[in-house]
Amino acid sequence: MAKQLKVKRLHASDYITLALFFILLFITIFPLLWMFLTSMKSSAEINLPKPTFFPKQFYGENYHKIFTDKYFLGYFKNSVIVAVSVTIIAVAGSMLMGYVFAKFKFPFKSLFFYMILLTIMIPSESTIVPLYTLARNLKLLNTYRGMMLPSIISSFGIFYMKQNMEQIPDSLIEAARIDGAGNLYIFLKIIVPLSTSAMSVLSLLLFLTEWSAYLWPLIMASKKEMFLLEIGLTYLQDEYIIDYGMMMAGCVVALVPALILYIFFRNNIMEGVASSGIKG
C-alpha cells in the first residue's frame, strides 16, 4: 500500500531518470529497427542521398538468397550443435567450479582462481597458433569437437558463478550439513536451485558468445559443410561493394534462434529468483 502511494508521487528526479531511461531505450531500439528495415531494402535504396526509414519497395531478394543457399541448413545445424553443446558443458563446469570457489576453503585457492581469471585477459588472436597445433595433434580439424574445444571451459562462467554463489548464505549449507548432507547433495539440492537465475543468464551469454564465434571456427573448418552460420552468412557478399541489405538480412536470420532462446530463458531468470526467495 505504502509502495503504491510512493509511485504516484513522482519527484523531479524521477522524471529525469525516466527521461534517461527512455533515451537509452530509444538509442537501443532505433538501430535495431533500422537494421530490420534495411534488410528489406535494395542496395540502390540504401545508398540514396536522403535515407528512407521504411522500405519504399519491399525487396525480398536478400532473404531469398539466404534461404535458397544450399548450405544454409547445414550452417544452421552446425551452429546449433556447437553452441548448445558448448553451453551445456561449460555451464555445468562453471557451476561446479563456482561452488568450489565460493563455498570451500582449500590451499592455493586464490592462486587457482587468479590463474583462471588470467586466461580471459589474453586476446584469443595471440593464442590461436598453439591451440591450432593442439587441435591438429588431437585430430580435431573439421570436427564439431574441434570447434568446441576452446570454449568447453569458461573462465568467465566460473568467475560469474563464484560471484553469484557467494551471495547464497552459508547458514543454509551449514544447516544441511548438520542434517548429514554430503557436498554433492548440497550442490544439487541447495546451490543449483538457488542459482537457476544465474545459471540461465550464464547459459544465455555463453550460447550467444559461441553463436557468434568467428575466428576459431574459421580456422578449424576447411569445408563448407562445416561452416557455422555466422561465417556462412558473412560470405554471401558482393566482392566490390558492401551489400548492407544482405548483411542485415543475415544478421536478422542469425538473431532469431538466439532471440527465442532468450525469451525461453527470460522467464527462467525471473522465476528462478522469485521462487528461490533467498532470505538471510
How many residues lie near other proteins (CB under 8 A)? 139
Fill in the per-residue mask, 2 to 41: x = in contact with other proteins (CB under 8 A), - = not in contact.
xx---x-----xx--xx-xx--xx-xxx-xx-xx--x---
Residues 159-188 that bind other proteins (CB under 8 A): 159-160, 163-164, 166-167, 177, 182-184, 188
Q: Are 51 and 75 in contact (CB under 8 A)?
A: no
Neighbours of 239 (CB within 10 A): 5
CB 165 within 8 A of CB 102: yes
Task: Give 58 or 279: the residue with its C-beta nearer to other proteins.
Answer: 279
Quote the least distance from Cβ 19 to other proteins, whole Å: 11
> What residues contact residue 276 under an 8 Å CB cut-off, 6+ apart?
193, 194, 196, 197
- Is residue 65 involved in binding other proteins (CB under 8 A)? no
CA distance 136 to 134: 5
Nearest distance from residue 175's CB to other proteins, in Å?
A: 14
Q: What is the DSSP letter of 150?
A: G
Residue 279: partners with Cβ closer than 8 Å, 6 or more residues away: none
Which secondary-structure segment (H or E) carries 123? none
Least Å from the CB of residue 78 to other proteins: 8
Stretch that binds other proteins, among 54-62, 64-72, 270-278 (CB under 8 A): 270-278
Sign of CA dihedral 76, 82, 86, 88: positive
User: Least distance to other proteins from the beta carbon of 58, Å?
Assistant: 19
User: Is the separation of the CB atoms in 91 and 73 below 8 Å?
Assistant: no
Of 40 and 155, nearer to other proteins (C-beta) is 155
Q: How far is the CB of 209 from other proteins (least distance, A)?
A: 10
Q: How far apart are CA 78 and CA 257, in angstroms?
A: 13
- Residues 79-98, interacting with other proteins (CB under 8 A): 81, 84-85, 88-89, 92-93, 96-97
Binding mask 185-224 for other proteins (x = CB under 8 A): ---x---xx--xxx--x--xx--x--xx-xx--xx--xxx
Closest CA to 238 of 32, 37, 44: 44
Helix (H) or strand (E) holding 259: helix 244-276
* Residues in 101-160 that interact with other proteins by CB under 8 A: 104-106, 112, 115-123, 125-134, 136, 139-145, 148-150, 152-153, 155-156, 159-160
Minimum CB distance to other proteins smaller for 30 or for 67: 30
CB-count burial class (<10 Å; 0-12, 13-18, 19+) for 165: buried
- With CB under 8 A as the contact rule, the residue among 44, 60, 61, 175 that binds other proteins is 44
263 binds other proteins (CB under 8 A): yes
